[in-house]
Structure 1
Amino acid sequence: MEAENNIYTVSVYTENNIGLLNRISAIFQRRHINIESINSSVSEIEGVSKFTIVVNITEDQMKKIIGQIEKQVEVIKAYFHTDEDTIYQESCIFKMKSDLLFEERQIQNIIKESNARIVTVNRDFFVIEKSGRKEEIELLYRELSAFGIMQFTRSGRIAVTKDEMKISTMLEAFQA
């Protein structure tokens, strides 16, 4: 019986070193695994960065990859979680022609119903921001596409675990 693919959110706590992202992505590339999204940011501990990577693979593959990631010198700790174990969001922004905002009543309804917000408006364009689940963002994209999107960009997933992470204690020790 073939193992089933799942969506996993990988959290990698690291020292902030140049070239580490390349080496981590190479671990996935060597196994021909596509990274669905990746986000890099500071973590809850000063001087420690956090990569949030989303992949669709088997649990077996995931465990092997975590082992490979943790072999990188700058990596403090790596974890993987299922969607059920995390609270996650993505963000996006849309740039649209300004006249649509005033001439298309439906645009205002779409913005309101999707819980998006207008961040800027000028003579030529307006910008809408939306945070939410991937599905919500894709739905808003489909709805706005009918009116013509000038520019669109979406962030990678950001996530926290539902359970307490012991990483904070470990990181405090790392800082000392």
Structure 2
Amino acid sequence: MSEKQTYTVSIYTENNIGVLNRISAIFQRRHINLESVNVSKSEIRSVSRITLLVRVTEEQIKKIIGQLEKQIEVIKAYYHVDEETVYQESCLFKLRTDLLTENDEIQKVINSSKSRVININKDFFVLEKSGTKAEVEELYHLLNKHGIKQFVRSGRIAITKEEMPVSELLESIKK
């Protein structure tokens, strides 16, 4: 049996109510955890792109892609390993303002992590960071010892290094 690894799954779908639920049910039936989920419009008008991050074997992901493509609303599904994509996550941290004004270490952490302050008031400031999951987690651990008031992280967003010919596929379906 092959080793489990992380795959980024890109699913192009019609933007219909319930499609995300039906897609997640495919993973749920196999007891596979979705590590992250992101839904957005795609480069194709009226087509959504769902980006999932899962940890499975290659045999499992091939079967899942087949199941996904059997869904009526799914136009095309792809899977890629990390080396085949350019990917990022974004996160926001809410911290006490006095940390920013009275703690030199926080300033150093902000500068070295390539994060930025996007909001500040007398009680709290909000720090934004985009990067890999490891970079986000490293910043979390550095800030956590100072007391994080709130934290939120997006799902993975990814673009493949190679062309995904979904636009051409759609054009051929329309004809």
For 2:47, give the aligned amino acid: V
Give me the whole-angstrom Cα distance separating, in 1, the residues matched to 2:94 and 2:173: 43
Q: Deviations over 1:42-81 (max 9, x none)?
A: 0001100000000000000000000111111000000000
Give me the whole-angstrom Cα distance separating, in 1, the residues matched to 2:171 and 2:139: 41
Give me the whole-angstrom Cα distance separating, in 2, the residues matched to 1:97 and 1:54: 32
Give me the whole-angstrom Cα distance separating, in 2, the residues matched to 1:114 and 1:7: 25
Pair 1:164-2:163 in alignment: yes
Structure 2 gap ranges (5+) = none
Q: TM-score, normalised by structure 1?
A: 0.97
Counterpart in the other structure of 2:82: 83
Please give the secondary structure, in 1, of the residue aligned with 2:142: helix
Distance 1:144 1:29, change over 3 A: same
Please give the secondary structure, in 2, of the residue aligned with 1:49: strand
For 2:50, give the aligned amino acid: F
Give me the whole-angstrom Cα distance separating, in 1, the residues matched to 2:60 and 2:119: 44
Give me the whole-angstrom Cα distance separating, in 2, the residues matched to 1:147 and 1:111: 13
For 1:55, give the aligned amino acid: V
Give me the whole-angstrom Cα distance separating, in 1, the residues matched to 2:172 and 2:90: 33
Structure 1 gap ranges (5+) = none
| CA-atom RMSD in angstroms | 1.0
Pair 1:93-2:86 in alignment: no
Percent identity for Structure 1 against Structure 2: 61
Counterpart in the other structure of 1:20: 19
Counterpart in the other structure of 1:30: 29
Report the Cα offset of residue 172 of structure 1: 3.5
Please give the secondary structure, in 1, of the residue aligned with 2:148: coil
